């Protein structure tokens, strides 16, 4: 697992969590508010379904650090550049990123069994924001989608801060409907 702490006290890390951007199928471009958050974040985490390679290129060029995975709607070029599962140490926490976690029923128990080495699992796929804790303490976060709200009232993304082995300031941001 890539770790930013190298055995030293972990400095606070501001994260932007995003998934299911689906550019250009669900939106022509990423929302301006989201791009401003990219500029503020220490690390941008994208949980798949980019659809467009240009979106990956944009975030790679703009973010201080990008951790991303491919999703079920991502083609061969994205799959060649991104893993299915990513693991990274940030702010003293062990993060994992994956696109799909299966159905909501039993998700916490299933993910705790699949990812016993993680503190936080960021996932996507459903476009439904999610913030729960599994038995044993695994935190499950789905930021929803900033471009395709599906049956949700808002398009969404999350921000949070990882510091000293704790996750804080987890905020679900609602984007205006179009």
CATH class in words for 12-175: alpha beta
Name the band, by pLDDT with cuts 50, 70 and 90, for residue 128. very high
Determine which of 77-81, 106-110, 173-177 has the lowest per-residue pLDDT on average.
173-177
The domain ranges of the chain are 12-175
Which is more confidently placed, 165 or 149?
Answer: 165
What pLDDT, on a 0 to 100 scale, did the predictor assign at position 150? 87
Half-sphere exposure of 1 (CA within 13 A, CB side): 19
CA dist., res. 168 & res. 178, Å (int): 30
Given a cut of 90, whether residue 27 has pLDDT beyond it is no
What are 34-53's pLDDT values in tens digits?
999 999 999 999 999 999 99
What pLDDT, on a 0 to 100 scale, did the predictor assign at position 119? 98
By CB atoms closer than 10 A (0-12, 13-18, 19+), residue 96 is buried
How many C-beta atoms lie closer than 10 Å to residue 72's C-beta? 10
């Amino acid at each position: 697992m890539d770790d930013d702490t190298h055995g030293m006290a972990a400095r606070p890390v501001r994260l932007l969590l995003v998934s299911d951007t689906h550019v250009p199928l669900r939106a022509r471009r990423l929302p301006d508010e989201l791009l401003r958050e990219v500029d503020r974040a220490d690390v941008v985490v994208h949980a798949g379904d980019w659809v467009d390679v240009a979106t990956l290129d944009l975030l790679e060029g703009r973010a201080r650090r990008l951790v991303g995975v491919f999703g079920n709607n991502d083609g061969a070029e994205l799959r060649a550049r991104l893993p299915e599962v990513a693991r990274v140490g940030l702010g003293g926490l062990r993060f994992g990123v994956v696109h799909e976690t299966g159905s909501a029923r039993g998700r916490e128990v299933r993910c705790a069994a699949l990812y016993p080495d993680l503190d936080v699992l960021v996932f996507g796929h459903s476009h439904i924001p999610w913030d729960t804790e599994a038995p044993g303490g695994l935190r499950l976060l789905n930021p929803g989608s900033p471009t395709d709200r599906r049956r949700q009232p808002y398009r969404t993304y999350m921000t949070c801060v990882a510091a000293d082995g704790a996750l804080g300031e987890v905020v679900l941001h609602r984007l205006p409907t179009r």
